[in-house]
Structure 1
Amino acid sequence: MNTETADIKAIEQVVATVERAQRAKDVEGFLALFHPDALWTTGHGKVLIGFDAIAEFTRTVLPAASWEGEITYEAVHTQFLRPDVAAVKVRQVYHSPEGETEGAPLYVMTKQDDGRWLLHACQNTAVWAG
């Protein structure tokens, strides 16, 4: 397996962990995916700068989140900007009895010295029908 293929698989695992953490409302599992200097913009446009702001928001919102059905995340495109920086387009779908709603997050991820990929600059965007 070449390095790029291994990195894509590792990135896909991060996206799968986002899905698992969201489903389980696992705050600490979700936060473990972030770089200390991360930037996160929520689907509603709230800008969170730095790990502490992301952690405070996540610890407040994720445990109280409620939805019917399940959430799926899929890395649909990975573009390496450098060997240690990747832009990852994600398809996020909320499956509910009323139908599906979709998000289109963009994760800019960085590869750490230990080989782990972390979320570094992320924008979560709702997909509007119409």
Structure 2
Amino acid sequence: MDTDPTAQAADIKAIKQVVATVEHSQQHKDPDEFLSLFHRDAVWTTAHGKVLIGLDAISEFTRRVLPAAHWDGEVTYEVTHVLFIRPDVAAVKVRQRYLPPGDGSEGAPLYVMARQDDGRWLLTACQNTAVVPG
């Protein structure tokens, strides 16, 4: 694995930017921005266990659900851990929070991202998990 700290720091910065764009797209309920982050063959599992395979299925679901999503307050996404599986593949743990006046709930997504030939990092295999209090 490439352990060049400069290259790895640049990749972590790019990965954090993808997560920041997820946050922005969710805050603004923007399906196009959200969908631009996915690999065409991506797998997405929602917090409620719905499995979506491929960008077409993710797109159909997102365009139906995201614009009508109901949450009060702000939703935030914070990268809490990055594990490079290979130099071009990373497992990214995220903390998702619905801040007051919302319900204060949390999610614990895991995003597997892959760096493309053009250098962009894309969401490739993702599991969004609701955090159960207690």
Q: Secondary structure at the residue paired with 2:99?
A: strand
Flag as ranges the 4+ runs of structure 1 deviating above 3 A: none
| CA distance, structure 2, for counterparts of residue 55 and residue 98 of structure 1 | 26
Report percent identity of matched pairs: 69
Letter in 2 for 1:69: G
Deviation at 1:66, TM superposition (A): 1.2
Distance (Å, rounded) in 2 between the aligned partners of 1:25 and 1:70: 11
The CA distance in 2 between the partners of 1:90 and 1:72, in whole Å, is 10
- Secondary structure at the aligned position of 1:122 is classed as strand
For the pair 1:100 / 2:110, whether they are aligned, the reply is: no
- Alpha-carbon distance in structure 1 between the residues aligned to 2:40 and 2:83: 22
- Determine the C-alpha separation between the residues in 2 that align with 1:97 and 1:60: 25
What secondary structure, in the 3-state scheme, does the structure 2 residue paired with 1:58 have? Answer: helix
Q: 1:111 & 1:87 partners in 2: Cα distance?
A: 12
Q: Tell me what 1:129 maps to.
A: 133
Partner of 1:90: 94
Of Structure 1 and Structure 2, the greater strand share is in 1
Which residue, 57, 65, 69 being the options, matches 1:65? Answer: 69
Matched, 1:43 2:47: yes
Q: CA RMSD in A?
A: 1.0
**1:3 aligned to which of 2, 7, 17:** 7
The corresponding residue for 1:76 is 80
Extract unaligned runs of 5+ from structure 1. Answer: none
Aligned residue-pair number: 130
**Normalization by structure 2: what TM-score?**
0.95
TM-score w.r.t. the length of structure 1 is 0.97
In structure 2, the residue corresponding to 1:14 is in which secondary structure?
helix
Deviation at residue 100 of structure 1 after TM alignment = 1.2
After TM superposition, give the deviation of residue 98 of structure 1 in Å.
5.6
The offset of 1:86, in angstroms, is 0.1
The 1-side partners of 2:7 and 2:122 are apart by 17
Q: CA deviation at 1:57?
A: 0.2
C-alpha distance in 1 between matches for 2:104 and 2:72: 11
